[in-house]
A and B are shown apart, each in its own frame.
Chain A
Amino acid sequence: MRYLAIFLSVGFAGGQTLPKIGEMLDTAGSARPVFGVAGNFLVGAVDAANVVSEACSERLCLTKTASTIRSATGETDSPPGPAIFGLDGTTAIVYFPQTRTFARWHDDMLDPLDWVVDREVLSIGTNEIGASQIAVRRGDTVVIVTPDGAILDSLPSPSGPVLLLSQQVLFTDGDSLVLKKPNASELRFDLPGAISFSPLSAHYAEIRAGSALYALRIDAGREHLFQLPGSQP
């Protein structure tokens, strides 16, 4: 046989922990793990309190407090206020709306960037070749631009939040969430009043609508909107 493979044994290495969905930012400003499978969520104990922004991917989870950015390995001082994260592997581009500055986060350090965007920054993402993209509101229009200002795409006048995902864009249109796919097709989910988006994990986006929190599964072919437990006082 050309490709010889002999299976000596089989080892069962799993089953010791619950499957983890991601990390949510609850309505009290606490970061909490979310366990389970789609449609069956269990929210764990508080990992961090007084969190103002959070973003998680497969390999990285960053939380922003008033003046620090924390990861699983440490924390670093940062400009005040909330942050918009664009996660890329084990690094991230971070935008601080209060100071209107960009920085690159890596290894629990922040390196300032000289990017200048003179409009409201809504989201930061990375395209399939690793280039950064920024969603910017310009009047009634949202455009997706490169850090040097080149326009890549535009969205049909969404007034609410925008989240750049891996090859997808999430935004609102009236009482609907719109998930724009790489082929420009759109999936819509009824949810009035969405006020913020954040990456819950590589597979879910967290949505706040009023006092409720939702998780939108974004895996291709398995898109579904769920409500997260314990999201109302």
Chain B
Amino acid sequence: MTRVLVIALLLPLAARAQLAMYAVNGSIETPLGVMYNMGNVAEGDTVDLRIRIRNLGSNSVTVTQFYGLGAGFTLDSPAGQFAMAPGTLRDFILHFSANTLATFTAWIQLNDISAIVSATTVIPPVLAILPGCSSPASLTIAFGPVNQNQSLLCNFTLQNPNTQPMTISMLTVTGQGFQGPLGPSVPFTLASGQTISFAINFTPSAPAFYFGTLAIETRSYSLMGSGFDLTSPILSFDTTSIKSSQQHQLIMSLPSPSPATLSGSVNIAFLPDTALVTDDPAVLFLATGTRSLPFTVNQGATQILIGGFSTAAFQTGTSSGRIRFTVSGPGISNNPTDLIVPPSIISLDTAIATRRATDLDVSLIGFDNTYSAGVMTFIFYSTSGQQLSPGAFRADFTSNFRSYFTSTQAGGQFQALVTFPVTGSTLGILGVDVNLTNAAGNTATQHLLFQ
């Protein structure tokens, strides 16, 4: 009887020695001990502590008491007793959340083992998202659509709003497609009010939606991004025959319905054939008189709206060369589309012959898209229709034109006034034929009558 009693008295001690509590972080177990500090927790955030109970002994143990008490803490403990076989373990979650700045404690009781767990609420560091990415919802960061295998870098700042220094021990980015943080290495300390910068790179490897997490101390932000496999928008025009000094319409569409609402810009540039000028400023979008227009395409649509319209008018300028269209924007691939503006003979917009007392003037307004104009031939006719001697009057103004084109850099358009001093009466001269030559050929005027 006495022997039995001794054994009975020893049972609680044996059970106590068999059970142990641990704090589990990933694969690391740390004995909970008498005091365990969860550290700083951003006010309003919920942080979980995984508590692991192990039966270290060789006998089964019945857990008769397991609870946690403390403001801000909640323990997911089972109702009633439960048994633990030798060598087994069970995990339970201790949740903590509080909206006031203070240090909180919880009393954890496991049979006759007790521990105190504490957590301190602090004002969290302030995360700011710089332009390029957006925050469509609280604790969510959207990277927008990105073409597959291309990258979008989002920049952030992190500030300590507290009056005390703040040590940042956790700054991680997880999730396929997201790389970072690029910048500081943890741990680091932010002085009161101090701000640091870091970046996260998003590189989708396939057309899909991507999700990740940015963890800063106890606060987590959802990262969202989408990868697309867009072929280039299809650029088409209202004509297949482009010439200088024309106005045409650009139309943009996608080969298949857009997987998301996308926006970007379409740009126009000019690459002249000649080395005399570097550009033709008249090659532009007419809506704004600029070389870039915004465009949007709605999710599920194939038609791209350019500046809100289905088409965009542009000018072809007065130079031979290539009009180059490019598109840019997240999720939009960028394959230039070139329109060839071929060299052409001099085009005359206006040709006027004017008579003065002792001079004859020939005014010519037009353009030479080859920048090679200069040679002109004039044949004058009398009122009787006879060609006046000495016949064809040839002049070469090539250097004048080159100087003009080079100095104005305004395309191939020109206004030329050619004056012929006359000895004798000009009244007997009825008209003139003008022939202008450039690298593409000859241009002859109608028979110009002197006015």
Contact = CB atoms under 8 A, between A and B. Distances in A.
Interface in B338-383: 347, 349-350, 363-367, 378, 380, 382-383
Interface string A176-219: 00000000000000000000000000000000000010000000
Nearest to B317: A40
Interface in B377-394: 378, 380, 382-383, 388-390, 393
B130 interface: no
B365 A13 contact: no
B159 to A, nearest CB: 38
B244 interface: yes
B313 interface: yes
A220 interface: no
Contacts of B247: 39, 226-227
B441 interface: no
A1 B423 CA distance: 13
Interface in B421-447: 421-429
Given A3-B382, A229-B286, A41 B400 contact: no
B428 A42 contact: no
A208 to B, nearest CB: 14
A9 interface: yes
Interface string A8-24: 11111111111110000
A230 interface: yes
B28 to A, nearest CB: 61
B404 interface: yes
B383 A40 contact: no
B242 to A, nearest CB: 12
Main SS of the interface on chain A?
loop
B193 interface: no
B178 to A, nearest CB: 39
Nearest to A37: B349
B364 A40 contact: no
B364 A14 contact: yes
A148 B123 CA distance: 85
Interface of A: 1-20, 35-43, 212, 226-233
Interface size band for B: 35 or more
Contact of A16 (B316, B349, B404): B404
Contacts of A43: 289
A10 B424 contact: no
Interface string B392-414: 01010100110010001011011
Nearest to B404: A15
B422 A6 contact: yes
Contact of B428 (A5, A7, A229, A230): A5
6 contacts: A7-B380, A10-B393, A18-B415, A35-B413, A36-B413, A42-B281
Given A3-B428, A10-B393, A227-B247, A40 B400 contact: no
Interface of B: 244-247, 281-282, 284, 286-290, 307, 313, 315-318, 347, 349-350, 363-367, 378, 380, 382-383, 388-390, 393, 395, 397, 400-401, 404, 408, 410-411, 413-429
Given A5-B429, A12-B397, A230-B290, A40 B282 contact: yes
Contacts of A14: 363-364, 414-418
Given A3-B382, A232-B307, A12 B424 contact: no
B336 to A, nearest CB: 23
A5 B380 contact: yes
Given A3-B429, A10-B418, A42-B282, 18 more contacts: A3-B382, A6-B424, A8-B422, A11-B420, A12-B395, A12-B400, A12-B417, A12-B418, A14-B416, A19-B350, A19-B414, A35-B413, A37-B347, A39-B247, A39-B315, A40-B413, A43-B289, A212-B287
Nearest to A11: B419
B382 to A, nearest CB: 5
Contact of B421 (A4, A9, A40, A233): A9
A67 to B, nearest CB: 30
Contacts of A6: 422-424
A4 B422 CA distance: 9
B401 A37 contact: no
Nearest to A219: B350
A15 B423 contact: no
Contact of B418 (A3, A13, A36, A230): A13
B146 to A, nearest CB: 31
B414 A7 contact: no
